[in-house]
Structure 1
């Protein structure tokens, strides 16, 4: 049941997102669009309640319960950024707004961007861990909690790998081809030395 509900919530997330953006920019009904977008967190609340009821009814804690916690954590950590990114593109494509500002690609600006994205993963792992700890305490000695503990390990393993990837942009900042980038992201002029007699 929980796995089916996770799939329903994922599909529902994109359906509500498309409906909200469509109402905002195609139907020119911004209030309706905002209301539909605000309904998205309710999907996570429904999933959380269903997971708690499933465990309360004596279900053996399994991988699907851990997956539900990670799904909720990911939505908390990255859902707002995803909606904001898609809203910017919908406003440009459907509402005549200027193109959204692309993320920086080079230098310390790119490193800062990657750090902010990693912070979302960190928040998601913290939320998932909190939910898993509550589930473990809720189950107590009445069942095995090894699968829930394994999901906590996976959440922080993913966070650690993502953090190392983000750190590489800080240690080895990408340079723009054809010039040297400064910390402010502006290209420094390339000096061309002229040979005598040229």
Structure 2
């Protein structure tokens, strides 16, 4: 049941986002679009509330309940960046906006980008672990803790790995290959060497 709810929440999240962007750029209803965007967290809250109700109703705690909490945590950590990504691409595709630039690949811009990813992962892990911890008192009590305990070290490892990767980019920034012009951390053109005359 919980897996079905997670799938339904994921589909609902993208449908609401699609409706919000459509009303903003195609119908020019900015207020309606804003209301729909504010409804995105409601999808996550509904999934978490249904997860708690499922456990309180006597369901046996399983990894799917923790997965539902991790879905909400992921949405908090990565949701805003996903909305910005979708907004830029929708604007370009359907409303004549500029083409979204790719992620930076080189230099300090790449380092900042990696730290942004690490920050989102740490926030997602922290929110997820908080929600998983709250499942214990909100549901049937400490009997469920053992089922959820493994998520602590798994999410902890994921957060640490992301921080280590970002730290490596700080220590050893990625440089562009020779002959590649870079602007804002992105390759823009390749410098051509004039042909040698015979």
**What range describes the TM-score normalised by the shorter chain of this pair?**
0.7 to 0.9
Give the unaligned 5+ runs of structure 2: 192-198
Shift of 1:41: 0.7
Q: Does 1:60 align with 2:60?
A: yes
Partner residue, 1:194: none
The 1:173/1:180 distance shift into structure 2, 3 A limit, reads farther
Taking the aligned partners of 2:85 and 2:37, their CA distance within structure 1 comes to: 13
Q: Does 1:79 align with 2:82?
A: no
Does the 8 A contact of 1:20 with 1:34 survive in 2?
yes
- Equivalent residues in 2 for 1:108-119, closer than 5 Å: 108-119=108-119
Question: TM-score scaled to structure 2, two decimals?
Answer: 0.83
Does the 8 A contact of 1:132 with 1:152 survive in 2?
no
Does the 8 A contact of 1:92 with 1:99 survive in 2?
yes
Does the 8 A contact of 1:70 with 1:155 survive in 2?
no
Give the unaligned 5+ runs of structure 1: 191-198
The 1:53/1:101 distance shift into structure 2, 3 A limit, reads same
Partner residue, 1:105: 105
- Equivalent residues in 2 for 1:8-157, closer than 5 Å: 8-138=8-138, 139-141=140-142, 143-157=143-157
Q: Does 1:7 align with 2:7?
A: yes
Moved beyond 4 Å, runs of 4+? 179-182, 184-187
Taking the aligned partners of 2:130 and 2:144, their CA distance within structure 1 comes to: 18
Taking the aligned partners of 2:33 and 2:23, their CA distance within structure 1 comes to: 5
Instruction: State how many pairs are aligned.
Output: 187
Taking the aligned partners of 2:38 and 2:122, their CA distance within structure 1 comes to: 23
Question: TM-score scaled to structure 1, two decimals?
Answer: 0.83
SS of residue matched to 1:121: helix
Shift of 1:122: 0.3
Query: Where is the strand percentage greater, Structure 1 or Structure 2?
Result: 2
Q: Does 1:163 align with 2:181?
A: no
